[in-house]
Amino acid sequence: MNIYTVIETAIISDDILIKEKLTAQCLAYCSQNEVSVEEDFVPVIFSQPSYANKCTIVAPKELRTRKDFDTSEGLATLVHSIAHIEFSAIDLALDAVYRYPHMSREYKVDWLEVASDEIRHFKMLDALLDELGFSYGDFPVHCGLFDAANNTAANILDRMAIVPRYFEASGLDVSPQIIKKLDNKRKIPAIAKLIETLNIIYEEEIDHVLKGDKWFKTLCEKEGKDVSVYFEILERYGLLSKHRPHVNVEARKEAGFSCAEIKKLGAKVCE
């Protein structure tokens, strides 16, 4: 089985069922077999994200602020924004396998498992969108995660630092704050379902960041670099000075961050 051809097809498809089927095939194969790659294999640099024909892509500043959750449309904008992050994360997890074929089978299995989780997360949110009378693609989106993937395509250490250890870890900071804002409306069935879904995603995202942390540190050791290079990478991508109103100390510790790192990211206390 040429998993790279299969994964490429999965990445470019905007059909979640195709992504699900092909990801499951690759995970089953990699779990049982060593994966070879043809010597002349060159990963494609994708010119547009898989959702480009499904969603209207705008600059982040053009996205409407999500404050009104009392209407179906207001709640749907929030659900849609989270669903979009999960859809993007599917492609990033698949791309982590596709783009770096020299990595071990353990690495491939880790990121195919992450992709499987992200597919399940998206499907839960998509079902909730449907209940609210909307579909994925009904609201504008930005392509920040796609851009991050392209910007780190040539350097796997940068990819592990920027995608799981920066963007996905930032989700650990934000998710509890969203849940807290929704909590006083949990009597509304759709909001109760969203809170339940967000709690599932939050717990599983800790494991995703931990996998990124594992491979970041493995690569640092292989390349003879100290893990403090993380902050040099963030600086190089203009991410170190980004404002963080809340740093989730406990979740980041579970996900592999040291207290020294967590404090440098803005937490006042970490023990």
pLDDT digits (tens, 9 = 90+) for 79-113: 999 999 999 999 999 999 999 999 999 999 999 99
Least confident window among 2-16, 154-168, 238-252 = 238-252
Buried b (16+ CB within 10 A) or exposed e, 171-187: bbbbbbebbeebeeeee
Position 61 confidence tier, pLDDT thresholds 50, 70, 90: confident
Write down all domains in the chain, each with its CATH number in brackets: 45-92+117-264 (1.20.1260)
Buried b (16+ CB within 10 A) or exposed e, 106-129: ebbbbbbbbbbbbbbbbebbbebb
How many Cβ atoms from other residues are within 10 Å of residue 170's Cβ? 18
For residue range 161-174, list pLDDT tens digits in order.
999 999 999 999 99
For residue range 150-163, list pLDDT tens digits in order.
999 999 999 999 99
The pLDDT score that the predictor gives to residue 66 is 66
